[in-house]
């Protein structure tokens, strides 16, 4: 797709009409949508500069939200607008992002404020702008940016009736409300898990957690030991060098793979010869893979879908004697995570040595209590995953609906 918009004269060919794939019943007999450009739908103007020293991170009485190229920057004493306006980020890697802002606010020079023209519904304009993927018109590499001159000539197909525009906006706004509610539900579950973790594991300087299941309240303190002593084998480095990649070879796990749930289909693979050479770094079902570099402390348990895999440098294998899920959560507990960060080296790029990891101090209860804690947190994680999947389903549904309620940008540019 070309990043150059068609000329204004080509877009204003009155003989051309376009139809969305999906139209509300009352508008199916109405005239088609008209190919045009953004300049015919709204006036666009960059906001005003405000010094970073005058932007507060916290909202206080007498301050107004301040929006820049990537959304809310903070709060300031001045405001440039009062009302509802779509804002387009015009500077930075995320330039072209669109958000609808209401009330009194300050828009900086890195945000473009779009003011709808007569017979253009503001909600419809907001979704139309979002669908255009304006980032594709950015220029510059180190600091990508959008110019208003370019934006004004971006092709747009306009629904001729404001009543149809409003119907579309209301439909998508209702879906956005569902998405927002689902986001809050996921965030609430994550906050609940964080609070629960703080109570189910001992805090620094304590030998037992603040919260215990009834059957363990008289069980006494947890036993202290090093992480190495909890394992059936020495905690070992990943040693496989990434590549050469082969289609059906041995899967291997990099530290960046730990940023999300481990999935066999997403893992790179290496040759059988390399896999055999570095068998010492193999992991199997139930092993904990731990990130030693960068975002240290991130860990995952090898799932059933990955019967065996190698580890690359920057990761470590932890094979526990007992309940691996308990120690997986234990590594994430506030006190243990603090100990990990305390022995890490580096500021910009942190790293923990294998020896330091082996000597991390952990407290642990008897196996039955380990199982109870792990089961509780695993069930909560399952619930979070389920609600996240519902959120992604809603987002996918919205994306598909928008593609049907609007003629495609490609059609507008032909």
- The residues near 140 (Cβ < 8 Å, ≥ 6 apart) are none
Q: 165: part of which helix (H) or strand (E)? A: helix 162-200
| Measured CA angle at 161 (ends 394, 86), to 5 deg | 55
Q: pLDDT > 90: what percent of the chain? A: 71
Q: pLDDT > 70: what percent of the chain? A: 93
Least confident interval from 267-281, 320-334, 385-399: 267-281
Is the alpha carbon torsion for 111, 112, 118, 123 positive or negative?
Answer: negative
Which CATH architecture fits 223-364? Alpha-Beta Complex (3.90)
What are the pLDDT digits (tens) for 61-93? 999 999 999 999 999 999 999 999 999 999 888
87 vs 66: CA distance, rounded Å: 12
Residue 239 vs residue 251, higher pLDDT: 251
Task: Decide if 253 contacts 267 (C-beta within 8 A).
Answer: yes
Can you tell me which residue has the tokens 């929006």?
Answer: 67
Peptide bond into 391 cis (omega under 30): no
Return the CATH number of the domain spanning residue range 8-178+398-413. Answer: 3.90.220.20
Task: Decide if 315 contacts 254 (C-beta within 8 A).
Answer: yes
Least confident interval from 7-16, 57-66, 303-312, 368-377: 7-16
β partners of residue 286: none
Averaged pLDDT, 16-40? 93
Q: What is the pLDDT of residue 125?
A: 98
Least confident interval from 133-137, 362-366, 407-411: 407-411
Averaged pLDDT, 354-372? 94
Averaged pLDDT, 236-242? 70
Nearest to 141 by CA among 90, 93, 70: 93
222 vs 364: CA distance, rounded Å: 5
Task: Decide if 300 contacts 258 (C-beta within 8 A).
Answer: yes
Cα of 27 vs its chain's centroid, Å: 37
pTM: 0.84
Question: Do 223-364 and 8-178+398-413 have the same topology in CATH?
Answer: yes
- In the chain, where the domains are located: 8-178+398-413, 223-364
Task: Decide if 335 contacts 201 (C-beta within 8 A).
Answer: yes
Q: 37: part of which helix (H) or strand (E)? A: strand 34-37
């Amino acid at each position: 797709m070309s990043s150059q918009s068609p000329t204004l004269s080509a877009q204003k060919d009155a003989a051309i009409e376009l139809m969305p794939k999906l139209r509300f019943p009352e508008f199916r007999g109405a005239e088609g949508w008209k190919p045009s450009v953004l300049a015919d739908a709204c006036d666009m103007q960059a906001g005003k500069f405000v010094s970073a020293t005058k932007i507060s991170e916290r909202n206080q009485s007498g301050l107004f939200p301040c929006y820049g190229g990537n959304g809310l920057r903070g709060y300031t004493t001045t405001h440039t607008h009062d009302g509802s306006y779509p804002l387009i980020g015009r500077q930075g890697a995320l330039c072209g992002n669109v958000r609808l802002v209401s009330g009194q606010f300050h828009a900086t020079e890195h945000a473009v404020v779009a003011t709808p023209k007569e017979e253009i519904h503001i909600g419809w304009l907001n979704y139309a702008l979002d669908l255009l993927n304006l980032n594709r018109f950015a220029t510059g590499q180190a600091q990508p940016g959008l110019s208003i001159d370019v934006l004004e000539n971006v092709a747009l197909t306009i629904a001729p009736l404001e009543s149809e525009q409003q119907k579309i906006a209301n439909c998508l706004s209702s879906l956005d409300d569902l998405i927002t509610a689902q986001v809050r539900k996921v965030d609430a579950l994550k906050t609940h898990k964080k609070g629960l973790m703080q109570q189910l594991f001992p805090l620094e300087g304590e030998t037992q957690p603040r919260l215990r299941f009834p059957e363990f309240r008289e069980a006494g303190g947890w036993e202290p030991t090093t992480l190495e002593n909890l394992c059936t084998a020495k905690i070992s480095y990943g040693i496989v060098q990434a590549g050469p990649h082969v289609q059906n070879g041995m899967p291997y796990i990099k530290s960046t793979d730990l940023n999300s749930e481990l999935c066999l289909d997403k893992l790179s693979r290496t040759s059988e010869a390399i896999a055999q050479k570095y068998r010492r770094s193999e992991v199997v079902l139930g092993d904990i893979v731990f990130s030693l570099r960068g975002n240290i402390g991130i860990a995952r348990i090898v799932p059933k879908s990955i019967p065996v895999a190698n580890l690359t440098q920057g990761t470590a294998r932890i094979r526990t004697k007992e309940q691996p899920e308990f120690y997986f959560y234990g590594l994430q507990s506030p006190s243990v995570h603090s100990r990990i960060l305390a022995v890490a080296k580096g500021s910009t790029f942190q790293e923990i040595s294998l020896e330091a990891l082996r000597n991390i101090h952990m407290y642990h209860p008897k196996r039955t209590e380990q199982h109870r804690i792990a089961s509780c947190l695993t069930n909560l994680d399952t619930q979070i995953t389920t609600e996240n999947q519902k959120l992604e389903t809603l987002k996918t549904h919205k994306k598909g609906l928008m593609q049907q309620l609007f003629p495609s940008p490609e059609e507008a540019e032909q």
